[in-house]
């Protein structure tokens, strides 16, 4: 079967490219145009400045201009989470300086996202810290997530809560769909805003061994964003064993009509060559 044939019906889906894992062979400001050249009209990002929750205005303006000039839409942005990929997994539940840095960052991220019409902000929960009571971290996390939800609501955006996988993130406490959804429910109960949603990353959930059709059936209505990569390997669809076309079909049947983020590694090839599974006409959002 020719590459992409099984995905020919995907044109009614809205795919975006995560520029923090794809096109990383290029400087940051060149990636939006590269995604556009590959046929995509939307992108998402982890917080691009791993060491700076509050970068200089010139850096924010430079990235904003690059996205606008490329003619792509920013659909999702992570709040500051430290070094990704790497040992860090979020700052909002870390006591002390990191939590303070997160608080100083929240409005900066929201203002940047809002200026580009971004409608989803992802808040990674943060690792457990040795010697700190998990209950203390959870209380701090809820406090900071309430702050983040308010900032997201101000720009008309969702706050996303993501489950990661235990093998790659052993100190991250949200390693199942129910755990992430429970946190989103707590945030909604605390704020009354109702804008905290589940980020359903099918790769992470698969590595955790979850029953993906059951997760979709149970949590599609609570899902604000979906991300995909094949497993094992976190490569492009077709490089592993996940039935991603079937799973996205199940999501569509369950009523999910939001964005599907391509958050996979390109492998030993330029990122522009890592989309042969998806027909070009299916890359531009409709």
Cα–Cα distance for residue pair 32/43, rounded to 1 Å? 7
Q: Per the residue annotation, which of 44, 98, 210, 263 is the catalytic one?
A: 263
Q: Per the residue annotation, which of 98, 162, 182, 273 is the catalytic one?
A: 162
Burial group, residue 101, by CB count within 10 angstroms (0-12, 13-18, 19+): middle
Report the largest interatomic distance among the alpha carbons of the chain, rounded to a whole angstrom. Answer: 55
Cα–Cα distance for residue pair 106/144, rounded to 1 Å? 9
158: Cβ–Cβ under 8 A, 6 or more apart, which residues? 119, 120, 121, 152, 195, 196, 197, 224, 225
Where do runs of H (alpha helix) occur along the chain?
Answer: 31-37, 57-70, 97-115, 134-154, 177-191, 202-207, 212-219, 244-253
- Active-site residue, 281 included: no
β-strand partners of 78:
122
Decide if 254 contacts 234 (C-beta within 8 A).
no
Cα–Cα distance for residue pair 277/36, rounded to 1 Å? 17
Residue 82: which region, alpha, beta or left (left: phi > 0; alpha: psi -120 to 50)?
Answer: left
- Active-site residue, 143 included: no
Name which of 198, 205, 163, 172 is nearest 184 in CA terms.
198
Give, rounded to a whole angstrom, the gap between the first and last alpha carbons of the chain: 26
β-strand partners of 229:
none
What residues are annotated to the active site? 162, 263
């Amino acid at each position: 079967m020719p590459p992409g044939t099984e995905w020919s019906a995907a044109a009614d889906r809205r795919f975006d490219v995560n520029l923090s894992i794809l096109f990383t062979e290029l400087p940051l400001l060149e990636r939006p145009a590269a995604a556009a050249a590959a046929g995509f009209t939307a992108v998402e990002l982890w917080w691009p400045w791993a060491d700076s929750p509050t970068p200089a205005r010139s850096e924010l303006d430079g990235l904003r201009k690059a996205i606008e000039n490329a003619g792509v839409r920013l659909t999702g942005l992570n709040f500051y989470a430290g070094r990704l990929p790497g040992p860090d997994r979020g700052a909002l539940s870390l006591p002390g300086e990191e939590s303070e840095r997160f608080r100083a960052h929240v409005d900066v991220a929201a203002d940047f996202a809002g200026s580009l019409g971004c409608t989803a902000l992802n808040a990674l929960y943060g690792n457990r810290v040795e010697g700190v009571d998990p209950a203390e971290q959870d209380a701090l996390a809820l406090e900071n997530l309430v702050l983040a939800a308010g900032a997201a609501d101000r720009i008309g955006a969702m706050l996303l809560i993501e489950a990661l996988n235990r093998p790659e993130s052993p100190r991250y406490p949200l390693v199942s769909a129910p755990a992430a959804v429970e946190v989103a429910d707590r945030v909604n109960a605390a704020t009354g805003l109702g804008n905290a949603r589940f980020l359903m990353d099918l790769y992470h959930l698969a590595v955790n061994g979850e029953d993906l059709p059951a997760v979709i059936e149970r949590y599609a209505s609570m899902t604000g964003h979906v991300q995909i990569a094949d497993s094992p390997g976190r490569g492009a669809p077709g490089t592993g064993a996940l039935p991603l076309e079937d799973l996205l079909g199940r999501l569509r049947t369950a009523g999910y009509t939001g964005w599907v983020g391509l958050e996979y590694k390109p492998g030993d090839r330029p990122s522009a060559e890592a989309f042969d599974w998806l027909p070009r006409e299916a890359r531009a959002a409709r």
